[in-house]
Amino acid sequence: MKTVYTCFGTDVIHDGHLNILKHAAEYGRVIVGCLSDREMIRCTKFPTTTESERMELYRSLPGVSEVVMQNNMLYNDVIEALHPDYIIHGDNWKEGAESAVRAHVEKLVSAYGGQIIDVPYTYSESVSKVDRRLREKLSMPEYRRKRLRQLLEMVPVVKTMEAHSGLTGLIVEKTVVEAENGRLDQFDAMWVSSLCDSTDKGKPDIELVDMTSRLRTIDDIMEVTTKPIILDGDTGGLTEHFVYNVRTLERMGVSAVIIEDKTGLKKNSLFGTEVVQTQDSIENFSAKIAAGKKAQLSDDFMIIARIESLILERGMEDALTRAFAFTAAGADGIMIHSRKKDPAEIFEFCDRFREKDKKTPIVVVPTSFNQVTEEELASHGVNIVIYANQLMRAAFPVMRQTAEDILRAHRAKEVDSRLMPFKDIIRLIDEL
């Protein structure tokens, strides 16, 4: 009897999946692949159930004779092991980023005489309702908040991009690229940067934009996205205020706040020692972290301590002493910052921290040492990489150039060919 294989990467079964199974049964014995958590994440489908729960769900479906794990979104593992006669899939994978996966699968199966069957995708009210409900579930505070901790267990490095508005949030949420010969890739989390949030409001990054306004930005992003949010909490302010903010952020579904060990008028770290900045004492900052951890009500929320010793040129020993002290005070992660182009001091810090602490997540912001890849950082023990300001810096020069060109030409014709039609932007908004 011929074998028919289909891959499911879903927590909820809808008419579309049942339709595929019905067609599949006409061709032979049906094997369903359960896409692993790790690969689901790369396809922007964050799982809300475990792999074994999903396997059980698929086993219970009509006409399914076997369920196997699929650990590679490109099907290499399952095709190699099973050599199915047919691979069956909704024909929606002929378009968009997934078409590269289809092309790859076609090459693999045709090598041994296998075939792809494209079933017309089920565009129905009930299917879109299930999809919508899943996204809504993922955007709920209890799901969103714990997603960062889940990701830390599931992916080698949590790729985090800055968002400072609903629109930039949507870009981080939805950008998917074809990477590594057909595999898809996307960002895992969002960074709500104090620098970009302030800049977007035309204000300096000196804790002038108050928490109410920062929360408004977070809420704008949350309303249209599902990915976990890491907030740049600056110094955390007064400890008496910080404890309230921890509760508010938890309630909203923010996953982590990063606070930096500076005090007084905070200036952006990229200024380094060009401006006067005061580092907080180990005792004070440890007490702030401990107070925040005590105020926290959920297990999921993370308070991450950011160390400014390298920025302020206080040396490696100071940075490491602080890292161990802040971890002992209860910090759930350490962010080490540097404004050097050479990553040597970041690597040294990570290697020496990891000699003694194998577990506490390390966060880095490679704005200056931007030649270093995520893989290289991960090999030094880094768990979260934050691209802290690139979307803002990308948009600004283009907006300014456009304004200048319209002023010069006294009309907009000259710039129009460079602009995205508004209907394409609206499509991004409508889809969610």
**Is residue 338 close enough to count as binding ligand SPV by CB under 6 A?**
no
How many residues line the site for ligand SPV (CB under 6 A)?
11
- Residue 99 CA to residue 250 CA, distance in Å, equals 39
Question: For residues 122 and 19, is the Cβ–Cβ distance under 8 A?
Answer: yes
- Give the nearer residue to ligand SPV in terms of CB position, either 164 or 183: 164
Range 177-216, binding ligand SPV (CB under 6 A): 193-195
- What mask, x for binding ligand SPV by CB under 6 A, covers residues 228 to 247? ----x---------------
Q: Which two tokens stand for residue 351?
A: 């290697």
Catalytic residue among 188, 197, 205, 261: 205
**Is residue 268 close enough to count as binding ligand SPV by CB under 6 A?**
yes
Question: For residues 235 and 257, is the Cβ–Cβ distance under 8 A?
Answer: no
At residue 50, what are phi and psi to the nearest 5 degrees? -85, 165
Cβ–Cβ contacts within 10 Å for residue 136, how many?
12
| 69: helix, strand or coil | strand
- Give the nearer residue to ligand SPV in terms of CB position, either 229 or 365: 365
- DSSP class of residue 270 equals G
| Shortest spacing between CB 119 and Mg ion, in angstroms | 49
367 binds, among Mg ion, ligand SPV, none (CB under 5 to 8 A by kind): ligand SPV
Q: Which helix (H) or strand (E) holds 162?
A: strand 158-162
∠ Cα 177 335 297 (to 5°):
95
Cβ–Cβ contacts within 10 Å for residue 368, how many?
17
Q: Which helix (H) or strand (E) holds 35?
A: strand 29-35
**What burial class does residue 163 get, using C-beta atoms within 10 Å of its C-beta: 0-12 exposed, 13-18 middle, 19+ buried?**
buried
- Give the nearer residue to ligand SPV in terms of CB position, either 3 or 198: 198
**Is residue 100 close enough to count as binding ligand SPV by CB under 6 A?**
no
Q: Select the residue interacting with ligand SPV from 57, 365, 384, 385 (CB under 6 A).
A: 365
**What burial class does residue 155 get, using C-beta atoms within 10 Å of its C-beta: 0-12 exposed, 13-18 middle, 19+ buried?**
middle
| Shortest spacing between CB 258 and Mg ion, in angstroms | 8
Range 371-390, binding ligand SPV (CB under 6 A): 388-389
- Residue 76 CA to residue 424 CA, distance in Å, equals 34
- Give the nearer residue to ligand SPV in terms of CB position, either 3 or 199: 199
Of 3-11, 148-156, 263-271, 395-403, the segment contacting ligand SPV by CB under 6 A is 263-271
- Residue 359 CA to residue 13 CA, distance in Å, equals 37
- Give the nearer residue to ligand SPV in terms of CB position, either 152 or 363: 363
- Give the nearer residue to ligand SPV in terms of CB position, either 20 or 161: 161
Beta-carbon contacts of residue 56 (< 8 Å; ≥ 6 apart): none
Q: Select the residue interacting with Mg ion from 37, 39, 207, 232 (CB under 5 A).
A: 232
Cα torsion 185, 189, 193, 198: sign? positive
Range 270-309, binding ligand SPV (CB under 6 A): 270
270 binds, among ligand SPV, Mg ion, none (CB under 5 to 8 A by kind): ligand SPV
Range 40-69, binding ligand SPV (CB under 6 A): none
Q: Which two tokens stand for residue 181?
A: 């010969």
- Give the nearer residue to Mg ion in terms of CB position, either 275 or 344: 275
Amino acid at 180: E
Active site annotation includes 205: yes
| Shortest spacing between CB 184 and ligand SPV, in angstroms | 27
| Shortest spacing between CB 160 and Mg ion, in angstroms | 14
Residues lying near ligand SPV in the complex (CB under 6 A): 193-195, 232, 268-270, 365, 367, 388-389
Active site positions, annotated: 205
Residues lying near Mg ion in the complex (CB under 5 A): 194-195, 232
